[in-house]
Chains A and B, each alone.
Chain A
């Protein structure tokens, strides 16, 4: 057993867990924060993405003990950082219909949150690169990409000129 001490969504937690406990297991099973999901066992799908010390990480690929001492934000705590009921990224996913079954969504949102922590490039290639580590089976990613732009426009109104934000899918 090993003691793991973390700040999770603004709350300090301390638990002794088996040494091999993954961060995602610590979140889901020890803390019962089930918003973070497990979609694969090869670090491919990104459903388990959380923010650790300011960086989006796949919580299935790091031991809880490795994260110990760090600060974790999960999808449940994201809105608190924005001081409103929903973070602009969460709002954008709703507004743009960027989710269907919702299973990949928490990981997607945490990956996008990381991408938008500084003014982002909003061309298709840059957004797709940022989403490369997250798999969705329902949406075809079209509206997820749209949600990234939508959130960026909310978060960086000056940086996102109309021209820049207009790239991407055409609709008729």
Chain B
């Protein structure tokens, strides 16, 4: 079953309209919430008059931040500093030259000032969604508008407006990683130092399901229930219970079908906290569903990382040292430092770099908070080093593929420890690149370039290599119960936001327990029965969950052997297990797994008559070393008259480890690639740099990829086996996206090489490209 491209078992309900997303759920007696959101990027709240709103038709309550604090609650601790990529028991960032690592609790509605356009200020609870929304417009807020800062580098200026008292200079933290003095000494003597700044642009998450949350409170037991789609119910439970100052057992979090995650939905949102608080306040369930306009103003956003590279090369193109500066735009609240921790750790990617250092600044701005977005730091790091390699190749007169050959970590150097402290256990970096070059017909490109030129178009080809790191929440749990009625019940701490776990988990169980896939029932996303688990992000589900499925299955089989042995009167090691049956070698007596479960139910386990369930669990807390890796090539054409970029084809060679289901893995590559294409060419999240106003607040002005955005693809899966986990899983969710912007920007730079070598702004929209071509022409003309 493992490795087969089986259509997904969960699809039947989705294609017939029987998915069950949060907004599809209605609770008896529910009320509806709407939020008043800030029109200013930065403003002190002088006063908030709710009188008219409170008297409006259908209004049950109008709540402010002070009401929340008066009820004795505290803000959410998002735990922005993630577990370290290597030593998962400690945080990724340990020290800061500012003295401490800033972590501001996030209260659902601010009491002092608003810090970004769209920040929720007040919450109205009413009988209908429309009444709630209408009433928000009757709230009278007296704002003292302050100067705003939205760009990460601007926020570091001495004169920049300050967001939080606890973070002077708008710095959450600032730290130096790696051997800076050594790197600088090497750069001082290097034949070539490439210095360039890359602003990896801000992304709006745009999962298709607008966020939604339903809060319930039972006064008799003082217990809460939150129903809300997310990337992991357990994290939501722990963070929200702590904010409400109740033991986690008093909050149940239910996560129904979730319409896309991509990272930001791993974290708690203030609206989720607000609906459970409000449910307690009004004594009735409270439901809220975002519209898309709110989503553009309040869904945590991705990227917005600035990387200033200084990379030294020898005359023959060998990387000698890296001394980078990394500025992460955290936004207005301390939600996550993950992009900086991931990105700096993987900074040298697949290249054998002797010495590396990076100076990291996490900066607060008057923008929507940022969170991990698919790849989370790794696409940013990949973009930077791959662009610099192309620039160095140009300076040194070395072929772009050749300069990479000279720098790739050789296979015989594995396990290889990078200067940033990651150890790569597997990966045929050179072979993957060569394969991608062959598939993309790299060597015959110049003929195609000439043909395009004859037709008046500028053709370019680009290449990028990538590797990822095994990060994410370190703790996971799997529980397996064999039910006599022929069901294998799996409880998993991780849950799908579209990755097809009901199918892939069933494939693993079918393989390891010899049962049909249809016998497997996966239950996830409800803390009533899920006790531990990290959710879906960072390619972690099959890496951790898969390992635990194998481990727990092995425990089921071991128990089954013991029971079958006691039935047959032999030793457990004389019982064979195959195709779901236990067979005693001497008597050939065969007992099926479900038959054993029935016996356990009636008689108990041998020697343990009280145990009436054939059950096993497995839990893990740590790091499973696995590094998805690969290479991508893109070919494109620029129309110099319009600046539009046409992707002609894209080649992706991906080592995701063993694919449990290649159909699903390829789908992940496609989706990640589309998001990478979107970031590279169209998804401009534009804010006014002075006022902080959002200029792209809907699908009408934010360039979502549409059908046809992805060019003809060649996706080839390959594997250099990892020994780090029994299923040899590395991860497929971020393969498509990690090299995408690097590959496309390298191809664009190649197409435009005769016009100029300055860095194009990201995304390279037709306007950006047209101006690059034509301003350059004007400039040349003047000179």
Contact = CB atoms under 8 A, between A and B. Distances in A.
Interface in B24-52: 24, 26
Interface stretch (B348-356, B496-504, B508-516, B523-531): B496-504
Main SS at interface, chain A: loop
Contacts of B23: 34, 38
Nearest to A75: B17
Interface in A6-48: 28, 32-42, 44-45, 47
Interface stretch (B329-337, B710-718, B759-767): B710-718
Given A40-B699, A44-B699, A171-B715, A101 B260 contact: yes
B575 to A, nearest CB: 39
B667 A35 contact: no
Given A106-B17, A170-B714, A171-B715, A42 B700 contact: yes
A28 B22 CA distance: 13
A51 to B, nearest CB: 13
B601 interface: no
B716 A172 contact: yes
A130 to B, nearest CB: 8
5 contacts: A75-B17, A97-B663, A102-B498, A106-B15, A137-B262
B291 interface: yes
A44 B10 CA distance: 27
Given A34-B17, A95-B7, A138 B292 contact: no
B181 interface: no
B209 A39 contact: yes
A113 B2 CA distance: 33
Contacts of A32: 26
A128 B706 contact: yes
A14 B341 CA distance: 57
Interface string A95-133: 101011111111001000000000000001101100110
A19 to B, nearest CB: 12
Interface in A54-105: 74-76, 78-79, 86, 90, 93-95, 97, 99-105
Size category, B interface? 35 or more
Contact of B707 (A103, A105, A132): A132
B130 to A, nearest CB: 8
A100 B708 CA distance: 18
A142 interface: yes
A111 B712 CA distance: 23
A58 to B, nearest CB: 12
Interface of A: 28, 32-42, 44-45, 47, 74-76, 78-79, 86, 90, 93-95, 97, 99-106, 109, 124-125, 127-128, 131-132, 134-145, 168-172
A102 B671 contact: no
Contacts of A128: 706-708
Given A35-B17, A74-B17, A101-B209, A142 B498 contact: no
A137 B263 CA distance: 13
A171 B714 contact: yes
Nearest to B713: A169
A125 B708 contact: yes
A3 to B, nearest CB: 19
B206 interface: yes
Contact of B8 (A35, A40, A97): A97
Interface in B624-682: 663-664, 666-667, 670-675
A103 B667 CA distance: 16
B618 interface: no
Contacts of B291: 38, 40-41
Interface string B743-763: 000000000000000000000
Contacts of A90: 15-16
B12 A103 contact: no
Given A39-B208, A44-B700, A141-B707, 12 more contacts: A45-B208, A100-B260, A100-B498, A100-B500, A101-B208, A125-B708, A131-B707, A137-B207, A139-B667, A140-B710, A140-B736, A171-B715
Contact of B260 (A41, A75, A78, A103): A103
Name the residue in A35, A47, A145 with the highest tally of chain B Cβ atoms < 10 Å from its Cβ: A35
B16 A100 contact: no
A172 B329 CA distance: 40
B698 A99 contact: no
Interface of B: 7-8, 10-12, 14-21, 23-24, 26, 206-210, 257-262, 291-293, 439, 497-500, 663-664, 666-667, 670-675, 698-700, 704-710, 712-716, 736
Contacts of A142: 667, 670, 674, 710, 713
A76 B699 contact: no
A103 B208 contact: yes
Name the residue in B208, B209, B291, B674 with the highest tally of chain A Cβ atoms < 10 Å from its Cβ: B208
Main SS at interface, chain B: loop
A106 B11 CA distance: 11
A158 to B, nearest CB: 26
Contact of B209 (A36, A41, A103, A168): A103
Contacts of A40: 291-292, 698-699
A138 B706 CA distance: 11
A72 to B, nearest CB: 13
A138 B260 contact: yes
A2 to B, nearest CB: 16
Contacts of A37: 21, 208-209, 259
A145 B709 CA distance: 12
B498 A138 contact: yes
A44 B295 CA distance: 14
Nearest to B704: A135
Contact of B664 (A42, A86, A97, A136): A97
B258 A124 contact: no
A22 to B, nearest CB: 11
A47 B24 CA distance: 14
A128 to B, nearest CB: 3
Task: Identify the 6 closest CB pairs spanning chains A and B, nearest first.
Answer: A35-B17, A103-B259, A101-B498, A140-B674, A102-B14, A128-B708
B708 A102 contact: no
A109 B11 CA distance: 13
Contacts of A42: 292-293, 698-700
Name the residue in A33, A42, A78 with the highest tally of chain B Cβ atoms < 10 Å from its Cβ: A42
A28 B26 CA distance: 11
A140 B11 contact: no
Contacts of A145: 707
A42 B10 CA distance: 30
Contacts of A100: 260, 498-500, 667, 671
B708 A76 contact: no
B671 A139 contact: yes
Nearest to B295: A40
A103 B262 CA distance: 14
Given A34-B24, A44-B698, A132-B707, A141 B674 contact: yes
Contacts of B672: 140
A141 B710 contact: yes
A91 B667 CA distance: 17
Nearest to A95: B7
Contacts of B666: 97
Nearest to A135: B704
Contact of A137 (B208, B500, B667, B716): B208
B259 A101 contact: yes
A132 B706 contact: yes
Contacts of A86: 12, 15-16
Nearest to B21: A103
B736 to A, nearest CB: 8
A165 to B, nearest CB: 15
A150 B78 CA distance: 45
Given A47-B208, A141-B674, A172 B15 contact: no
A141 B708 contact: yes
Nearest to B706: A132
Given A103-B208, A128-B706, A134-B707, A35 B292 contact: no
A28 B21 CA distance: 12
B35 to A, nearest CB: 15
B129 to A, nearest CB: 9
